[in-house]
Structure 1
């Protein structure tokens, strides 16, 4: 049961301050204490408990993000290695991660109080840049870590190893290493596969490789992936599109075997396939058409049964 919630938000979104105020009032009505980041406290006014964003996860039972998927990804960084789960309220355009609609907010807060929710463990992607025998940069990402050439139009000369065994070297515009959660983001746009979010796996997806035979890989748990840059000028590595660093020729980018998971708090209303149908138009037909088609199929089955009887 949830007793204390933390609120983070993208305050640049239209109407977000009003929605945050409603969330605060709804939580109070349910007997739930609210903790916010200082910027939200200043925007709402009143007597709100405010703590620094990096400290919210340790002060609450669940963190709610108000914004789009970018705000949710920021929340994933803030919870860090803690087990505090995340729930996203969508105020953006797509809202694949932030799947709760604003009009569902009252139901969501009531469900938190009643304990009517699911807790899902999601794998993260961690990456380290090894340069001259030292780790010069490290990042943990929920969706993906991407390597690209930044402003340069030149290709990367990449060598990939899995568990210390070289499995290929090729030219490409970059590389995406995605978690199952992130398989529906940049990876999918780059032609990669959708991986069920509950799996413990990594997708390694070259960006526009210069050889037709190079295709994405799905690697199981316990694998250590290493990318070596043989030639790279002005390249960058980016985690979740938010945290980045420069790359140099000779860098080794290591994706360690184990990462602390991120926990999602989800309401038992939609599954992965319903979400990708609704948000990404997956399956080729609009969702209402699929539902009508299913109904017609049921009608045909019933008619066949009536004829047999």
Structure 2
């Protein structure tokens, strides 16, 4: 069977002892299949070099690779997704992390499943992203996409912050809390879930607003259409910190406006045949597990 993908980049979690073995095992397997293989520059540095494989930057991967295999956990996948989304390179994840909501190929089955994907036997899924800009006195001072979530929180303060929430230009409420999580369906099983937010199926075109420890007990998570424009205006005297996918961050000042909309970018995820979102939830969240008895 001819290969569906002919040029593949490997991206691994940095500073992980398990990555080198898995990356080179996958690289050698793909080379034996007659494919062009690149190892991402930072990955090569962290595993002590790329051997006789070519090294590529994210920009080169975006321009030339037909598929990127991410070896690590969800954090590694999030970083890769944010950096490659504008290039529309499809991603497949091999899980070396703990949960693996996004990296759903088990390490023990990696070669077999990747072989099937290379042959064109896979399920493709599109995950939308958020576009965030921070406005200060009406001028943009920061801008970035996020796949999981945008988190506005109190940073190093030992007290709550206060902010106005506006949706499509309409004032909704003033909230005093530790902050707010603005989550995509992809991020609904991450930080938002631990804060009692709803699980959103990836097919739902919605954005979840999840308050963090609100002072008013009536403040509850709300799911909005993805067409909404969400604005959070920080009220004096409180500054705040904004996190994007738990990786990038920006220190905002009182008076800043955090504006969040659906991004025109989307992430292409490839899953093995037979992949089930519900089976993934059942496994990762231990649904249907037999209760423990003391």
Q: Structure 1 length as normaliser, TM-score?
A: 0.88
Counting only pairs closer than 5 Å after superposition, residues 7-18 of structure 1 correspond to structure 2 as 7-18=10-21
Could you list the runs of 5+ residues in structure 1 that have no partner in the other structure? 291-309
Aligned to 1:294: none
Secondary structure at the residue paired with 1:218? strand
Which has the larger share of strand?
2
Secondary structure at the residue paired with 2:78? helix
Tell me, yes or no, if the aligned pair for 2:128 and 2:262 is still in contact at 8 Å. no
Task: Please give the alpha-carbon distance, in whole angstroms, between the structure 2 residues aligned to 1:55 and 1:157.
Answer: 43
Counting only pairs closer than 5 Å after superposition, residues 1-309 of structure 1 correspond to structure 2 as 1-41=4-44, 43-231=48-236, 233-282=238-287, 285-286=288-289
Q: Structure 2 vs 1, CA of residues 268 and 231 (structure 1 numbering), >3 Å: closer, same or farther? A: farther
Could you list the runs of 5+ residues in structure 2 that have no partner in the other structure? none
In terms of Rg, which structure is larger? 1
Task: Please give the alpha-carbon distance, in whole angstroms, between the structure 2 residues aligned to 1:161 and 1:240.
Answer: 22
Secondary structure at the residue paired with 1:124? strand
Task: Please give the alpha-carbon distance, in whole angstroms, between the structure 2 residues aligned to 1:235 and 1:228.
Answer: 11
Task: Please give the alpha-carbon distance, in whole angstroms, between the structure 2 residues aligned to 1:207 and 1:39.
Answer: 35
Give me the CA root mean square deviation.
Answer: 1.6
Aligned-residue offset at 1:96: 1.6
Moved more, 222-231 or 32-41: 32-41
Structure possessing the higher relative contact order (Cα contacts under 8 Å, 6 or more residues apart): 2
Aligned-residue offset at 1:62: 1.2
Aligned-residue offset at 1:274: 0.9
Tell me, yes or no, if the aligned pair for 1:41 and 1:48 is still in contact at 8 Å. no
Secondary structure at the residue paired with 2:265? coil
Aligned residues: 286
